[in-house]
Structure formats: C-alpha cells, structure tokens
Structure 1
C-alpha cells in the first residue's frame, strides 16, 4: 500500500511513525511502518499527496520540522529524506542516515542557516546537516549511546543537546566539542553505579528540548517509564521523576503549549498518553 490511508478492514496495516503539518488550512499527515514506505495524505479527504518509492522500504522515524518558517517532513527509510510539505511537485532532498541508524532528529537555525541535527546510533555520533549546502556541517563523536537530540539557545548561542544512557550532554556546533558531558544527577533519580559504564533498562529513550518560564530545558523519558526535566543552563535535574510513571518504556515526549501552560506530552508502551504541567513545582 503506497500513497493512501489504510482502509477500515485493513487490519494488518499499522502506522508506527506519524508526523503532521497544516498547509493552506488543511491538515497533512505523513507516516509509514517497518514494511511500508513513507507517504503523505490529506487528513480530511484521505487523498494521497506524495510518497516514497516502493524500493525505499519500510519507515523508521518521521518528524515535522520548520525551516525558514515553512513546514517539512523528514522520513527515515532506506535513505533519509526532507519533504517540502507545501510543494508536492518537488523531489525530496536526501539527508544523512537511514531507518536503522537515525535515533533522533531536530532542526533549527545555526549562524543564520537552516540545519537538521541527527543522532546516529550506528556510530554513536551527532551529525549537523546544512540544508542549504546539502552537506555535513559538523560531526560529534558522542560519549553516550545516542537516543535523541535537540537544539537549545543558551546565553545567546545555539547548542546541540544529546541524550542517551543516563546522561544529557551539551555540545558547541561551531567547534564540534562537548561542553558538558554529564552525568546527570544520578542520586536524585536513583541510577545504579553500573549505568555509568553501560546502557541498561533504565536508559533514556527519548527527549525534547524547549523553554519553560524563560529557562531552556530538556524533558526526558526512560526505558523504565520515568519522565524528568533538566535545566540546560543550570545543568541539573529540576523536576521529576514524575508520578505516576509510565508502566514500561516512554516512546515519545513533546513540549507544547496547552491553554497557556507549557506542558510535556508523553506516550508509552503502556498505551497511555500523559500530560505533565511543567510550570508547577
């Protein structure tokens, strides 16, 4: 199945990864699964808009990013592509990595240029991709097994944020050097000593980066269900672990605005979606 939403009786089809954007007042969704290539649809009508070639294979991670104020989809199949959501007549741009190596995706602006940041779990590195030149701008050999990545503004400068194992770390994309390699506050979240040396079932599984009350933060979810909030400027735990935890791995986390409050939305393997108010102590 390529290029259209699954029918109601198509019980064997599952969208394992989904992204969305608004184009001309209409919601456009993109996604796929491990056996089907990436495709885009108009949510209201179900009409297909664009899709990857069948030989691109199954879909891993997908996400929505905004570059120069415009929405784009990123899909990870046999190759990783950047899709212009507003222009279905253009070919997608091939980026770094594939569905087996990309562990996290983020995007933003660095020195006035649009960039996409990838966490590469194949080589445990972080790659900063320059969208305009379509080339790698910077690579970071990563001291943690990469689970997710982000970009944050600290003291007027853009920093790369990576999470994995039991650490959240900060890097300077201009130099390719890590400025802070954790470890995060193990005592406050009861990490075992062995976690310092190897990835365990308590490891961070996902992360999102945002701003709460003017303070840049990272919100992390872990394989054991914990959700924590870290101050990137102060480099310490400021909230969490939240209770009740997810019963099992946290699959995704997003920071969002809900009725004027900054919240974190988490989804877990326990089939639950939880909303956490980040503005409350």
Structure 2
C-alpha cells in the first residue's frame, strides 16, 4: 500500500545515484525539478511531474574555474589585462570531486545551482590545489556565475543556500571547520569563521537575521550571526559528539537549534536566546541520525530527520514528539523545500529512486 503522505504523481520518475547531499529540489516555471551533478561534471534535472530529463555539461574552463583562485581579488592587472591570460592548461579538473555538495536557489530571476568541492578538485601536474571552492552555475546553460567562492582549505562538508529579504547567501562548512559565507548578489565573502573540524552545519533565519549552527568532532554546537560575523553566546552542550546533523528554525517566535550525534539516536533541542534546553530529546530512531531539516508545515514548526535505520521521521517542535509513523525505506533524506506553496521532503531509496512527501499532510 502506498503511504498516503507520498505525492505519487511526483515520485518514482527519477532514478539516479549521486553522492550524499548532491540532489536538491527547485521550482522552475512551475515545474518541480530534482537537480544533481554527476561524477562527470554533468548537471542533471528531472521534471518530477513528467519525468522529462535534461543533461547540461558544466563549463569546466580552467580560466574561470581556477584562475581567480590564484590571484588576490584586488589584483587589477589580472582582472583587466585579458590579453595576457595565464596558461592554465596544466590544470586538470577532477569532476568527481567538483560537486561534493549541492544546493539550489533563484538568484536575480534565474535558477542557480551551487556546488561545494571536495579537497583537490583541481590538480596540477606537479602541485596540488587545495579544493573546497563553492561555485554558482546557471541551471539552464551550465556556465559558472561570477568567481569561485574560496575560503576553505579542505573539502566542503555542508552547503546551504539562504534566500530571504535582502539576502542571498552561500553558507558552507568544511573538513577543517571553516564556516564561510558569501553574498551571492554582491559576489563578496562576508564571513570566514572557525568551527569544529569535520564540520556539519545548518542555517536559516531567526528574527529576520541569517544564522548558522555548526558542529563536528566536538561534543558541542556553536551558533553564528552571519550578518555580524560573530558567534552568538556560548557553545551549546549536552550532546554526545561527534555531531552528525544540525538544523536551525523558529518555534513560537524563538530561535531553536536541533542537532544529533553519533553516540545515540536522539534529536537534541536548544533555545538560542537562553542557551538552555528547548525540550526533552526527541527519540524514536534506532540508528544514527544522518540528516535534519526544519520547515513550517500544517501551520506548525516541524523537523524531518533521516537516519541510518533507513527511515525518515517527522517531529512536532512545539509540542514535542513524533508525528505519525516512520516513513519507511528511505536511504537518504535529500532535501526539504517549498514547491507550489507546499512544503515537501525529497528522499531516495537504496535503489536511487526519488520520492516526494507532502509535509502538510505528514504534519496532521
């Protein structure tokens, strides 16, 4: 029997295998699209209504892919003297490492895909480039937009696109624990902060301000004001590390941080204002939680978690506790987005089949 929370007309049309966190949802011209980048550097989309697919090779010209990373942003000679461009033919792009993480958003009226690179995504004959750059790509043409967004020394481990009033941000964390924020409208880096290495991250808006929470190898979570570029309060403690998944949301007008660790199967909650607990840990998973996302569904704040027990679960953040039965057979929780005004979750099965879930229905 089909789970009534599933949207059958949007599910099962796409079957593909990607690395974890390399499939996102975006609505383009009224169509819900699954978007991913494969190991060959090809951008794939699938219209979940019709099953129609497109394949767009990314433009991997080393001059734009690497060139700006070899120079200071204010190197006027490099920016203005186009006739004397460097010969970058010795650089080889490792397409498997180009898109270790993927996110999607609308920027300036056009659909855009962000990719976060693994370490050593670009190799030179006798030298290594460190990798970890975030890049923005035009979804329709595969051409890179602006310059590569640097700031990481190693590979990107988490990537989020934040789009809100007056803000379009790329927020990423990495193996060495850097939290890097770029303003996508201005093409400027606005924050480069030090967090836990092997970093995980969640980001969102609280009181209209963009914030992020980071964790990793340590047994605490740190919260950051991205506009001010500084940490908010003291680290949030009480979780057994390493931290595996994080989400940021608002519950009844108060900023709340959610996190899960490797040591147990619970979801922990903190009230950002006071720094204390925002309720008892949420329990139900039987193996480590891998993914967390938060959204408003059915008029109330909920969280969606994906775990190694191959289930996704929906949680009531105001009242506490699980809503409904587990969503079975989910290998990965790929994304949570609002499509056609409806909050939905995108999951993939072990076979790579994508399923779309109506979170309004799931929150009842």
TM-score, normalised via structure 2 length: 0.62
Shift in CA distance, 34/142, structure 1 to aligned 2, threshold 3 Å: farther
Aligned pair partner of 1:182 in 248, 269, 281: 281
Contact 2:333 / 2:345 at 8 angstroms: preserved in 1? Answer: no
Contact 1:102 / 1:118 at 8 angstroms: preserved in 2? Answer: no
Q: Kindly state the Cα deviation for residue 117 of structure 1 after the two structures are TM-superposed.
A: 2.3
Note the aligned Cα RMSD (angstroms): 2.9
Distance in 2 (alpha carbons) for counterparts of 1:95 and 1:269 = 36
TM-score, normalised via structure 1 length: 0.78
- Residue 40 (structure 1) aligns with: 136
- Residue 17 (structure 1) aligns with: 101
Gaps of 5+ in 2: 1-59, 67-92, 122-131
Distance in 2 (alpha carbons) for counterparts of 1:147 and 1:52 = 25
Distance in 2 (alpha carbons) for counterparts of 1:183 and 1:55 = 33
Aligned pair partner of 1:132 in 213, 219, 227: 227
- Report the secondary structure of 1:242's partner residue: strand
Shift in CA distance, 219/12, structure 1 to aligned 2, threshold 3 Å: closer
Aligned pair partner of 2:248 in 151, 165, 171: 151
- Report the secondary structure of 1:132's partner residue: coil
| 1:105 maps onto 2:202 in alignment | yes
| 1:277 maps onto 2:358 in alignment | yes
Shift in CA distance, 55/97, structure 1 to aligned 2, threshold 3 Å: closer
Q: Which has the larger radius of gyration?
A: 2
Aligned pair partner of 1:265 in 346, 355, 358: 346
| 1:59 maps onto 2:156 in alignment | yes
Q: Kindly state the Cα deviation for residue 173 of structure 1 after the two structures are TM-superposed.
A: 1.1
- Residue 180 (structure 2) aligns with: 81
| 1:238 maps onto 2:323 in alignment | yes
Q: What are the superposed Cα offsets for residues 208-253 of structure 1, whole Å, 9 maximum, x if unpaired?
A: 111121121111100121011111112111123113x12x4x2534
Contact 1:261 / 1:277 at 8 angstroms: preserved in 2? Answer: yes
Q: Kindly state the Cα deviation for residue 264 of structure 1 after the two structures are TM-superposed.
A: 1.5
Contact 1:230 / 1:237 at 8 angstroms: preserved in 2? Answer: yes
